[in-house]
């Protein structure tokens, strides 16, 4: 019994040490922000007339439905829009003229 308890304690200590040593994934600095009058943010029009703006490099999963337009502002961006990976250089935009009502799943600002 004493040996069994020692093994459990050793296993718990090992698990704790491994958890401390495993690097934590890089935190995403991308955040949603108020658009205001700024044009340098990534701006997304969705669900008719709603807008969302994003700033700072990183990756996030905004899950915005029915996207009709995206502008990159002063950012190079990659995204998963609908089922496609799309890339936009700085000061570019895409417009859904076909009415596809795609969802913006992933947004990466570089």
3-state helix, strand, coil in the chain (%, to 5): 20, 40, 40
Residue 91 lies in a domain: yes
Three-class SS of residue 56? coil
Total count of domains within the chain? 1
Residue 52 lies in a domain: yes
Structural domain range at position 78: 31-109
Residue 19 lies in a domain: no
pTM above 0.85, yes or no: no
Residues 6+ apart with CB under 8 A from 96: 67, 68, 69, 102
For the domain that residue 58 is a member of, what is the CATH number? Answer: 2.60.20.30
Kindly report, residue by residue over 40-86, the tens digit of the pLDDT. 999 999 998 899 999 999 999 999 999 999 999 999 999 999 989 99
- How much is the pLDDT for 69? 95
Residue 103 lies in a domain: yes
């Amino acid at each position: 019994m004493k040996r069994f308890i020692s093994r459990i304690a050793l296993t718990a200590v090992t698990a704790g040490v491994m958890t401390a040593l495993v690097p934590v994934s890089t935190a995403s600095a991308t955040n949603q922000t108020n658009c205001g009058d700024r044009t340098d943010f990534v701006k997304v029009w969705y669900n008719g007339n709603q807008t969302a703006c994003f700033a700072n490099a990183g990756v996030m999963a905004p899950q915005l439905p029915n996207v009709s337009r995206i502008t990159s502002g002063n950012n190079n961006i990659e995204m998963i829009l609908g089922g496609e990976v799309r890339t936009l250089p700085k000061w570019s935009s895409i417009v859904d003229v076909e009415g596809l009502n795609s969802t913006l799943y992933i947004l990466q600002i570089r």
